Amino acid sequence: MYRVNPLLRQITAVAALSLTVNIASADVPVMEQGIQIGDVTDGRAIIWSRADRPSRMMLEYALDEEFTNPVQVRGPYATPESDFTVKQDLTQLPAGKEIYVKVWFEDLTNNRNQSEPVTGHFHTIGKHDDIHFVWGGDIGGQGWGINEDFGGMKIFEAMRQVGPQFYIESGDSIYADGPIQESVVAENGEIWTNLVTPEVSKVAETLDEFRGRYKYNLLDENVRRFNAQVAQIWQWDDHEVANNWSDSKDLLGDSRYVVKDVPLLVARATQAFHEYAPLRPHDAEEPLRIYRKISYGDLLDVFVLDMRSYRGPNTDNLQPVESAETAFLGDTQLAWLQQELKKSRAVWKVISADMPIGLNISDDYVNNPPQRWEAIANGDDGPAAGRELEIARLLSFIKHKHIDNVVWLTADVHYAAAHYYNPKIAASDDFSPFWEFISGPLNAGSFGPNSTDGTFGPEVVFSMAPPAGQANLSPYAGLQFFGEVHIDKRSKAMTVELKDINGDAVFSKILSAEKKNKKDQH
């Protein structure tokens, strides 16, 4: 069982017994994890929830809080095979409206007992709407879990308070490889006290342990409240499986793991991710595909990448020509991204990446220089090599096809930063200049800053990270960050802000939209 707040320990045995009896006598499904709303686009939205027993999701939606003239939907069955998680795709939703939803479960007995309903709402963006969203990643990492005395994962409340239309979850939505203990010594000797469940007390190996990581995050009331009111776009990175996993991942020397077969861990982690993410299944041909495009009218297309599933092994990353070993997005995903960017008529094209382009991120903590690199950069400021070759090909395509207003958003490195990629100072310069913004962590250890790789000429315009010589600072330190984006319908300008755990801005940048000449339209 998880550790309870000291205040809750004061509940008397009699009251606890009475509560148990009342729940048992009611004998209705329970929705402990609330609801999530995902992939809202073109009159559609995914509604996710979970029951505690075999049952059927039921829901209704309306255009007002009173649920006047609601549309009722009989959803899918919650069964043990999916850990009682379900998703319902709502369609033909009106654009530019606030949609109110009510979700409950009906058990599979003849009595058809019903759970207490959970309500929420989200916005479908219309042609007259400005666009406003937030993004971030890195949740529950390095042993910094849900500390109720601290207020829980309170950055989610800070994000909810700014009133975004949607949220991009940029990866590391759980830390399957990071055990959470009841108490941890933080900086200055302060004690961080976690809620703990059996599934998070060790590295995740079984399917139920991976599932338990997602259920753990959903114990936090800030997260549940946020999920019910802000639509989400999920992607993943490494910690949904294990730190820095690729085809070269070797767990033989890691005594924490009994299961040493990385493909088996990936299979279990993938199933849990798709069960708990409010992610629209791609299609029957490729149901586990994560990369996709989410469109928001003529102002914005979001291109969600998967930089984990199709990569080659982590190596020294210095190969002079492309091969299966240098794959990062992989040929199929790269071709898809190029064609979707080319077809896009949106003013802004946001590439949601789970890793930054020009930061040196090591997968080797012993050797200097590292013998294995985790991301795109390879610590060499010269022309593109290794995984950089794939990115150089993409950036050149964007330039020569006259695809303007491309912005990269990411997380991963556990600090906030703004990078301007300048071809005038780049070793590989066949690209148009662009911006990359980094947020996070949302609730994890703070690190950084990372050194930059000069191949694509990144200029560090802003960064906020722990002081030199300090790492893995707890949320007590305040170095938890999310990003916020506004796109003005009239001016087409994009404003990007990086904000701290309290919602205070630490950096802001206004980007003007470039207008194509007619001859450049494709």
pLDDT digits (tens, 9 = 90+) for 337-368: 999 999 999 999 999 999 999 999 999 888 88
pTM, rounded to two decimals: 0.93
Give me the pLDDT at residue 15, please. Answer: 41
Instruction: Write down the mean pLDDT value for the chain.
Output: 93
Q: Which two tokens stand for residue 280?
A: 């629209």
pLDDT of residue 26: 65
415: nearest Cα among 470, 464, 472: 464
- Examine the pLDDT at 1 and tell me if it is beyond 80: no
Give me 31's structure tokens.
Answer: 């929705």
Residue with tokens 């294990």: 242
pLDDT at 88: 98
pLDDT at 113: 97
Q: How many CA atoms lie within 13 A of 464 on its CB side?
A: 21
Angle ∠(448,449,452) on CA atoms, nearest 5: 135
Q: How many CB atoms within 10 Å of residue 389?
A: 22
Which range among 103-107, 280-284, 447-451, 471-475 shows the weakest confidence by mean pLDDT?
Answer: 280-284
Tally of CB atoms within 10 A around 504: 10
The one-letter amino acid code at 341 reads: L
**pLDDT reading at 10 higher than 90:** no
* Cα 502 to Cα 280: distance, rounded to the nearest angstrom: 31
Angstrom distance (rounded) from CA 306 to CA 292: 9
Distances (CA, A) of 514 to 43, 298, 429: 28, 14, 20
Asked if 422 contacts 459 with a C-beta cutoff of 8 angstroms, the reply is yes
Q: What's the rounded mean pLDDT across residues 26-31?
A: 91
Mean pLDDT of 418-436: 98
Note the pLDDT tens digit of each residue in 118-136: 999 999 999 999 999 999 9
What is the amino acid identity at position 240? E
Pairing of strands 416-421, 505-511: unpaired
Structure confidence at residue 386 (pLDDT): 98
Q: Who contacts 112 (Cβ-Cβ below 8 Å, separation ≥6)? A: 106
The residues, any chain, with a CB within 8 Å of residue 365's CB and separated by 6 or more, are none
Cα torsion 211, 217, 219, 224: sign: negative
Please name the residue that has the structure tokens 């998880």.
Answer: 2
Q: Note the pLDDT tens digit of each residue in 141-190.
A: 999 999 999 999 999 999 999 999 999 999 999 999 999 999 999 999 99
What average pLDDT does the segment 262-274 reach?
97
User: Is residue 354 within 8 Å of residue 137, measured between CB atoms?
Assistant: yes
| Structural domains of the chain, with CATH | 8-124 (2.60.40.380), 131-520 (3.60.21.70)
Residue 132: which of 98, 170, 166, 96 has the closest Cα?
Answer: 166
Q: CB-based contacts of 166: which residues, under 8 Å, 6+ apart?
A: 40, 122, 133, 230, 231, 232, 233
pLDDT band for position 515 (cuts 50, 70, 90)? confident
Residue whose structure tokens are 């755990």:
501
Residues forming beta bridges with residue 483, ordered by sequence position = 135, 498
Residue 22 pLDDT exceeds 70: no
